[in-house]
Amino acid sequence: MAEKQYETRSVKRLNTPKLTGAYQKQWFMGLHDRIEKGEPFAFVGANCPMELLQAMDIPFVVNQWWTAICSAKQMGPYFYDLLEQAGYRNDICSYCAAAYACSLDPKPEEGPWGGLPAPTIAINGEGCSSGIKIEELMCESFGADSFRIQSFHQDIITDNWWEYSMDRWEELVGTERLDFYENELRALVDFLEEKTGRTLDMNKLIETLNNVNEQETYYRKTRDLIAKTVPAPVTVTDTVNAVMQAQWHRGTRWAVDMAKSLYDEVKALADEGKAAVPNEKLRLLWIGRGLWFNLAFYQHFEEKYGAAFVWTMYLAMGADSYIRNHVEENPLRCLAARFCFLEDVLHVPPFNSQWFVKEAKNNQIDGVVFLVPENCMNNGDFGYNIIQSLEKEGFPVCVLRADPADAKKWSQELMVETVEKFIEERVIPNKK
């Protein structure tokens, strides 16, 4: 494990993340028991319709979130070295390869929370050239049956997608594309039923989807509250874990309760006029994957500059891109409209750039830090356009190039220096 010369754990200000963290750990321990008793266990990509699994009571772990856990537990360097020992490289695809690396671990039980159990099934999207191979290798290594959801090009480009996503999603995604994804979901249901012996109950799916809508509505309220409250009652370090962990269980009542709990806590702080950064002078927006192995990084700039990171995609995606109303009319289609558009929001221009600009305005942002993953060969969000769009609207942007999952490759000194320089040379002068 890499030696740390700096603090990586953020200071916890809220109770909800403690609750979600404890539950997650407990759930994971219980997962080992369930699998031992012969239950199926799925390993899925973050862009998969996990609501189906929830509705069928099939426990699952999300690939990228598992990476985040490994990363937060500072185990990334250990796992990536296992890849190198197996003849691969330890400096590439860290965000997607952690689970495969775990499958090569001679001591899997020493992994986070007792280690990743061997999945019996895996569901993935049609990812990049490396992604499909890594998933294949992982499935083979664990002995999991795999289902691959095909992707379908988004032909329709609509301005201000968030005005459509809740109710006018058929217009947003397009009928042809929705037909396609609805069929993919039907094929996935067949696969799940065949592999697990369980049957999808449509009423249970409706209940799950309605729970998701309720949960995400709390995120919407929380996001809006943070956006309008200056100084902000919380920063991203307070919310990311609470949101990520509950999103993992989205569709359950527990997840709704946690989303509500988060909102209630943030609201209470706002009502009391309590600020996460009492001397808040600057509000920053973080674009990109979370820095799970070093959440303290976000807090580093609070004391020196009164700079608060108030925005990441984790809460804001919940707020804007998950809610799909009209569940009862056709639950599978409704689910298709959600999951197929999640990636588009982040990666397809101008969906992403327009959204970041809208969020920067609403959240009263002074500067943007944009993390570009260095070792992802498939990174491509038209970053040029994101930067230009934000700068044009008066939001200075700082680009950080780093590996978001592997602590060993992180240069704290360089990154802190880069952001400090950015704050001093661009954000503060721009604010005056």
Partner 1 sequence: MAERTCALGCSAYSALKARFESPVAAVAELRKNGKKTVWMFGDETPEELIIAAGLQPVRLLGYYGERPNADKYLELSFGALWRGSFEAIVNGSYDGLIDYLVMENSSDLIQKISYYLEAMLRLEEDRVLPTMAFVDYATATKNFRVQQRNVMVTEKFLNTLRSWTGKEISNDEIYAAIDLCNEHRLALRRITALRRQNKILGSEAMNIIGGSFFFEKQEATALVNAVADAAESWEDTGLVTAVYTGSAQETTELYTLIEESGINIIADDRLIGDRYSEGLVRKSPKPTTDIAYYYHMRFPSSERSYVAERAVCMPKLIEDSKAQSYIIFMNHNDESYIWDYPRQRDVLGGLPTLMIEDQYYPLRNVSELKDKFASFAEKVKGAN
Which residue's CB is nearer to partner 1, number 114 or number 349?
349
CA distances (Å), origin 41, targets 61, 66, 249, 314 = 8, 14, 14, 25
Pairwise CA distance, residues 109 & 56, whole Å: 27
Nearer to ligand SF4, 24 or 94 (CB): 94
Shortest Cβ distance from residue 379 to ligand SF4 (Å)?
Answer: 6
Cα distance between residue 275 and residue 277, in whole Å:
5
| Distance of closest approach, residue 24 Cβ to ligand SF4, in angstroms | 23
CA distance 194 to 204: 18
Q: With respect to ligand SF4, which residue has the nearer C-beta, 277 or 376? A: 376
Which residues lie closer than 8 Å to 66 by C-beta, 6 or more apart? 43, 98, 99, 102, 116
Q: Apex CA 350: angle with CA 349 and CA 356, to 5°? A: 105
In the list partner 1, ligand SF4, none, the entry touching 152 (Cβ below 5 to 8 angstroms by class) is partner 1
From the list partner 1, ligand SF4, none, partner contacted by residue 180 (C-beta under 5 to 8 A by kind):
partner 1
Binding-site partner at residue 96 among ligand SF4, partner 1, none, CB < 5 to 8 Å by type: ligand SF4
As measured in angstroms, the least distance from the Cβ of 230 to partner 1 is 31
* Min separation Cβ 191 and partner 1, Å: 10
Nearer to partner 1, 159 or 272 (CB): 159
Please report how close the Cβ of residue 312 comes to ligand SF4 at its closest, in angstroms: 19
Report which of 59, 71, 62, 173 is spatially closest to residue 120, judged by C-alpha positions: 59
Summarize as ranges the residues that interact with partner 1 (CB under 8 A).
86-89, 92, 126-130, 132-134, 136-137, 140, 148, 150-153, 155, 157, 180, 187, 347-350, 372, 376-385, 401
**Contact at 8 Å (CB) between 305 and 282?**
yes
The amino acid at 240: V
Which of partner 1, ligand SF4, none does 254 bind, CB closer than 5 to 8 A by kind?
none
Q: How far is CA 80 from CA 8, 111, 409, in A?
A: 20, 13, 11
Write out the residues near ligand SF4 by the rule CB under 6 A.
93, 95-96, 127-128, 130-131, 134, 376-378
